């Protein structure tokens, strides 16, 4: 009998799949941007933005004019540093990075444990949902989509290391 060998997804295929799962879900059924004036998309004077997941820059080879990529000192694996994605406060929705699609949720995992999805504690300062609601109070379809994406991306060893390190970072905010 022929054995089926599972070929790991390329990074492009991985993120295309993750983006598709999250394409049409939102944290709550209503437009939460009306609660806060789209606070998570506001541009501050300092460079603020969101980390791209490992190799997610494959999705931004042709960088849109409203976006920039920066190096960071966030080392999630030996010699591997996260890129920072910034925008001018607007974007083509279908091209927003993974961190924007899952905000205010975050995959959280300690080595040897099962990954879970938490409310991103770094979002409390800007996001009224992160400040006042629990994960269970967000739209269940959104939460289920973020959980599905978390299971998908955690199959990739580099993403696992990234999530482990990010989880240590957010522990300081819990
Ligand atoms: S800051 Fe929170 S409430 Fe406001 S648009 Fe972003 S996710 Fe929605
Ligand atoms: S890329 Fe889009 S969703 Fe993400 S912060 Fe910028 S405007 Fe908001």
Give residue 25 CA to ligand 1 midpoint distance, Å: 13
Alpha-carbon distances of 56 from 96, 105, 122, rounded to whole Å: 11, 18, 21
Confidence band for 4, pLDDT divided at 50, 70 and 90: confident
Indicate the top mutation candidate among 31, 103, 142, 143 to test ligand 1's pocket, ranked by most ligand atoms within 8 A of CB.
103
Residue linked to tokens 């300062």: 125
Report pLDDT for 42.
84
Model pLDDT for residues 112-146, shown as the tens digit of each residue: 999 999 999 999 999 999 999 999 999 999 999 99
Does residue 74 contact residue 81 with C-beta atoms inside 8 Å? yes
Give residue 7 CA to ligand 2 midpoint distance, Å: 32
Does residue 127 contact residue 99 with C-beta atoms inside 8 Å? no
Break the chain into its structural domains and give their ranges: 11-171
Q: Is the CB of 89 under 6 A from ligand 1?
A: no
Which is higher by pLDDT, 89 or 105? Answer: 105
Neighbours of 138 (CB within 10 A): 23
Instruction: Tell me how far apart the alpha carbons of residues 124 and 128 are, in angstroms, rounded to a whole number.
Output: 7
Confidence band for 47, pLDDT divided at 50, 70 and 90: low
Indicate the top mutation candidate among 42, 96, 101 to test ligand 2's pocket, ranked by most ligand atoms within 8 A of CB.
96
Alpha-carbon distances of 49 from 39, 52, 69, 172, rounded to whole Å: 12, 9, 9, 19
Around ligand 2, the residues with Cβ closer than 6 Å are 40-41, 87, 89-91, 96, 100
Tokens representing residue 67 in the block: 């976006």
Enter the pTM of the model.
Answer: 0.94
Of the listed ligands, the closest to the CA of 69 is 2
Model pLDDT for residues 16-32, shown as the tens digit of each residue: 999 999 999 999 999 99
Which is higher by pLDDT, 48 or 61? Answer: 61
């Amino acid at each position: 009998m022929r054995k089926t060998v599972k070929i790991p997804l390329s990074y492009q295929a991985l993120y295309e799949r993750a983006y598709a799962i999250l394409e049409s879900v939102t944290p709550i059924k209503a437009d939460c941007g009306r609660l806060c004036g789209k606070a998570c998309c506001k541009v501050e004077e300092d460079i603020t933005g969101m980390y791209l997941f490992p190799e997610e820059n494959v999705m931004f080879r042709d960088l849109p004019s409203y976006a920039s990529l920066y190096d960071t000192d966030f080392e999630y694996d030996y010699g591997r540093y996260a890129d920072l994605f910034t925008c001018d406060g607007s974007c083509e929705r279908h091209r927003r990075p993974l961190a924007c699609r899952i905000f205010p949720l975050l995959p959280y995992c300690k080595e040897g444990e099962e990954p879970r999805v938490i409310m991103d504690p770094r979002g409390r300062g800007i996001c009224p949902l992160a400040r006042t609601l629990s994960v269970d109070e967000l739209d269940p379809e959104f939460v289920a989509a973020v959980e599905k994406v978390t299971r998908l991306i955690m199959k990739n060893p580099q993403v696992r290391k990234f999530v482990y390190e990010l989880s240590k970072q957010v522990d300081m905010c819990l």
